[in-house]
Every structure is written in C-alpha cells, then in structure tokens.
C-alpha cells in the first residue's frame, strides 16, 4: 500500500510537470539553442558579408601589387591614379585604399590602409600576410639558390606530438588534452547547472504545497517522509526524461546541422576561409592526430562510459541536493525567505565550480582526488575528471560515498521537513532548523 501511495505521488509530480508549457518549451528550445550556438559561428563564416571588398592599391615600388592575390571576398585592384584623387569621401564602390611607398633594405615601408568603414582584422591580416610573403620570396630569390622551392619544401618540418593514454589494461588510446579539458568543463558545469535547476524545483514545489495548505490533507494520508521522497523522485524522473530528450535531440540536430553544413562548406568555402575562424570550425581542420583523439572520444565505449557516469553523478548529486532543498522549502512560507537558508546548499556547489577550474588543468592532483570523493562536490569534480580517464575503483568509491551521503542527507532532511511543514509565520534561522532534527515526532 505504501508503495502504491508513493507511486501516486511520483506520478502526480511527474505528470503535472511534464505537461507544463514551460517544460515542453524548454525541452524543445534548449537543444535548438545549443546546436544553434555551436553552428552559428561556422554558419556566419560561410555567409558572404556584403559584396566583395575591393581595395585599390597604389604601389609606388611597382613590385608588389602584381603579386597580390584576391582572397575570399577581398579583391586587390592596382591603380595608377594619385592618392589625393581617389581618396574622395563617401566612395561606396570600394572598401579601401592601400598604399605601399618603398622597399628599403628589402623591407616594405609606408604601408597605409585607408578604409571607408571599420577596418576588419581579417582584411588587415590578409594584407600583412600577403605583403610579407611576397617580400620574403623576393629576398630569397636574391640569394640565387638553385632548386629553392624543393629545398624549402624539404626544410618545412611539421611537428606533431601524439599523446596516448595507457589505460589499466595496458592498451594505448590516443588522447587530446584540449578535447578532454573541454569535455571536463562542459560536464562539470552541466552537473552544477542541472542540480541547481531541478533542486530549486523541489524547493519551490514544497513551498507551493505548504502555502496552498494542501499539505495537511496529503500528510493525513501519507507520511511526510513518503511525500518528500515522492516529490524528489518525481522531479528526478522529470529531470532524467528531460535530459534524455535533450541528449537525443542535440545528437539528431547536431548531425543534421553537420550534414547540411558540411555539404554547403564543401561546395562554397575554401579551407583558408574556414581556417581563419575560431571555435568549432577549427576543430574540423585540426591535425590528424587530434582527429584520431576525437574519434577515440566519440568511440561508443568511451561515450557510453562518460554518458553513464554523467547520469549516475547527475542523479546522485540531484538526490543529495534535492533533499537539502526540500528541507529548506519546508521551513519557509515563500521563496523570498529562502536566500539565507540556502547557504549550506550554494556554498559547496560554488566551491565545486571553483575547484573545477583547477581540476580541469590537473585531473590527477590530490585536490582533484579528494573533491571527487566528498559527496557534496563529487558530482561536479568527478564528472570533470572522467573525460581524462579515472580508475574504476575511484569511481566506485566516489559513487558509494555519494549515494551513502544521499541516504544520510535524506534522513536529516526528513526530520527537518516533518517539523518545518507545520511551521508557519516567522522564518527560522539555520540553527533553529538544525534543532528540529532532534525533535520527537
């Protein structure tokens, strides 16, 4: 009978929340937002901003302009007319004017770029790079070395350090510290965010029940403990379902975006164009070894491990903190009163985020180890370590401590909750709340 009741509470909590408009919107919009933010920079790079950027070049050396090559949207046009004549205000047929005065001791001087709008970094760098390359090539030519191009090609030395991680079984896997670091930050931060988000939902739910006076009817049918657990588990179920939908949608949308964008990029953009961009786009053109690492990180076994770890730590962290949030919610009549009482919840979570930055850089340090064992910080910190690879026993111990911590926390929280839900009026202090633990029923 008790199980049927707790089932009814979980069911009510779940059904009520997943039918809310905010839930449905959030569940759909979040993946759109994430994928959108990821592909936006890449997409924007492929979109031609305005027309061609025409730059008229007055080359008084006469050596450079003929070698300048149009690149992307930038087009160089030599002109013989003097600067004063072409530098009239409000010309909208050109982007700007480049003047090159002399080449003294082999170095170009008097390079000036006049533009009719803000100078873009891209244009400036293109000019600098091209002029430098041209002059350098010219200088090399004066040494009159035979077979120069072949020599240069031979001299060019690509250096790649391939990094491998030797796992417990002695197998080697390509790894990438950059990618691991990104993943560490992402997962650690997501845990923090989700625990806060859904934990606060529990707290608000408790306050709502208390202020709408519905509690008294409910606790005349079920024990306060069952009500609290039902609420925590119901919202936990909402969180897991929402997270899974997010994950699936993000993967689908992401693949769709990559397919669509990949096709477009192959058609239109040149590697240089994309190479200039930061972020996601760069990933597509990193060296083959990073690609190998990326492949390892997207290897099904690895992904399942990280994903499983995420779910285990997310649920554990959520349960632990949700119990605390429930206790705080039970003690107050409205959300405004929760600020001070939330301190024991926010401090360890924020501490975890601070430690996260250290751990990302050195996932094997003793700080990283200990904070990934303490239940209050382990969800965030261990999730940040997992992408680098963590011995199984550490994960097992940390999870055992986390879920053990949850059971202990529920025990305390239930004692506070049981007293708190019938306390109306004055907001209690933290010390008073702790005293409730010792109250008899």
Partner 1 sequence: MELLRIEHVTKRYTGHTALDDVSFTVPEGSVYGLLGPNGAGKTTLIRIINRITAPDEGRIVFDGHELRPEDISQIGYLPEERGLYRKMRVGEQAVFFARLKGLSRHDAEIRLRQWFDKFGIMPWWNKRVEELSKGMAQKVQFIVTVLHEPRLLIFDEPFSGFDPINANLLKEEILALRRSGATVIFSTHNMASVEEICDHITLINRSHNILTGTVEAIRHAHGEGVYRIDFTGNRTNLETALEGLGRLFPAERESEVYDSILIQLASHESVREVIARANAQVDIHNFKEVIPSMNEIFIGAVNGKI
Q: Interface with partner 1 by CB under 8 A: which residues?
A: 1, 4-5, 8-9, 12, 15-16, 209, 212-223, 422, 440-441
Q: Which is nearer to partner 1, 147 or 441 (CB)?
A: 441
User: Going by C-beta distance under 8 Å and a sequence separation of 6 or more, which residues neighbour residue 207?
Assistant: 329, 332, 333, 334, 335, 338
CB of 237 to partner 1, least distance (A): 16
Q: Which is nearer to partner 1, 138 or 333 (CB)?
A: 333
CB of 213 to partner 1, least distance (A): 3
Of 314, 248, 241, 197, nearest to 18 by C-alpha is: 241
CA atoms of 177 and 210, how far apart (whole Å): 49
CB of 404 to partner 1, least distance (A): 28
- CA end-to-end distance (rounded Å), the chain: 22
CB of 124 to partner 1, least distance (A): 58
Q: Which is nearer to partner 1, 203 or 320 (CB)?
A: 203
Q: Which is nearer to partner 1, 24 or 104 (CB)?
A: 24
Q: Which is nearer to partner 1, 1 or 392 (CB)?
A: 1
CB of 202 to partner 1, least distance (A): 16
CB of 437 to partner 1, least distance (A): 14
Asked whether 184 and 363 are in contact (CB, 8 A), the reply is yes
Angle at 220 between CA 432 and CA 316, to 5 degrees: 60
CB of 333 to partner 1, least distance (A): 13
Q: How many Å separate Cα 438 from the centre of its chain?
A: 43
Q: Which is nearer to partner 1, 101 or 208 (CB)?
A: 208
Asked whether 415 and 439 are in contact (CB, 8 A), the reply is yes
Q: Which is nearer to partner 1, 307 or 422 (CB)?
A: 422
Q: Which is nearer to partner 1, 165 or 223 (CB)?
A: 223
Place of tokens 């806060």: 196
CB of 428 to partner 1, least distance (A): 12
CB of 409 to partner 1, least distance (A): 23
Q: Which is nearer to partner 1, 12 or 60 (CB)?
A: 12
Q: Which is nearer to partner 1, 221 or 264 (CB)?
A: 221
CB of 410 to partner 1, least distance (A): 20
């Amino acid at each position: 009978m008790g199980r049927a009741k707790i089932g009814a509470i979980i069911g009510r909590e779940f059904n009520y929340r997943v039918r809310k408009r905010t839930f449905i919107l959030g569940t759909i919009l979040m993946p759109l937002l994430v994928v959108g933010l990821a592909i936006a920079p890449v997409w924007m790079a492929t979109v031609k901003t305005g027309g061609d950027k025409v730059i008229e070049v007055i080359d008084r050396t006469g050596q450079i302009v003929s070698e300048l090559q149009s690149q992307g949207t930038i087009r160089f046009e030599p002109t013989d007319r003097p600067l004063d004549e072409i530098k009239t205000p409000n010309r909208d047929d050109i982007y700007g004017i480049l003047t090159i005065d002399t080449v003294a001791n082999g170095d170009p001087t008097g390079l000036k770029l006049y533009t009719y709008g803000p100078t873009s970094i891209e244009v400036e760098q293109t000019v600098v790079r091209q002029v430098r390359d041209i002059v350098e090539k010219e200088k090399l030519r004066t040494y009159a070395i035979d077979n120069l191009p072949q020599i240069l090609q031979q001299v060019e030395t690509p250096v790649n350090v391939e990094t491998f991680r030797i796992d417990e079984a002695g197998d080697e896997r390509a790894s990438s510290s950059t990618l691991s670091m990104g993943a560490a930050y992402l997962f650690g931060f997501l845990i923090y965010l989700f625990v806060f988000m859904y934990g606060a939902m529990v707290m608000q739910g408790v306050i709502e029940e208390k202020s709408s006076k519905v509690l008294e009817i409910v606790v005349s049918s079920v024990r306060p403990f069952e009500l609290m657990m039902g609420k925590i588990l119901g919202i936990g179920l909402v969180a897991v379902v929402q997270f899974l939908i997010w994950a699936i949608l993000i993967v689908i949308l992401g693949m769709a975006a990559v397919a669509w964008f990949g096709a477009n990029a192959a058609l239109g953009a040149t590697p240089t164009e994309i190479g200039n961009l930061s972020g996601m786009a760069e990933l597509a053109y990193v060296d083959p070894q990073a690609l190998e690492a990326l492949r390892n990180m997207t290897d099904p076994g690895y992904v399942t491990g990280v994903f499983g770890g995420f779910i285990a730590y997310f649920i554990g962290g959520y349960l632990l903190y949700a119990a605390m949030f429930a206790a705080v919610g039970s003690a107050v009549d409205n959300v405004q009163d929760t600020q001070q009482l939330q301190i024991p919840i926010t401090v360890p979570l924020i501490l975890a985020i601070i430690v996260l930055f250290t751990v990302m850089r050195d996932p094997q340090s003793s700080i990283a180890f200990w904070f990934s064992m303490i239940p209050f910080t382990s969800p965030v910190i261990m999730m940040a370590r997992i992408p680098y690879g963590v011995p199984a026993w550490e994960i097992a111990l940390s999870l055992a401590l986390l879920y053990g911590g949850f059971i202990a926390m529920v025990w305390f929280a239930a004692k506070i909750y049981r007293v708190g839900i019938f306390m109306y009026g004055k907001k209690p202090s933290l010390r008073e709340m702790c005293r409730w633990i010792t109250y008899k029923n």
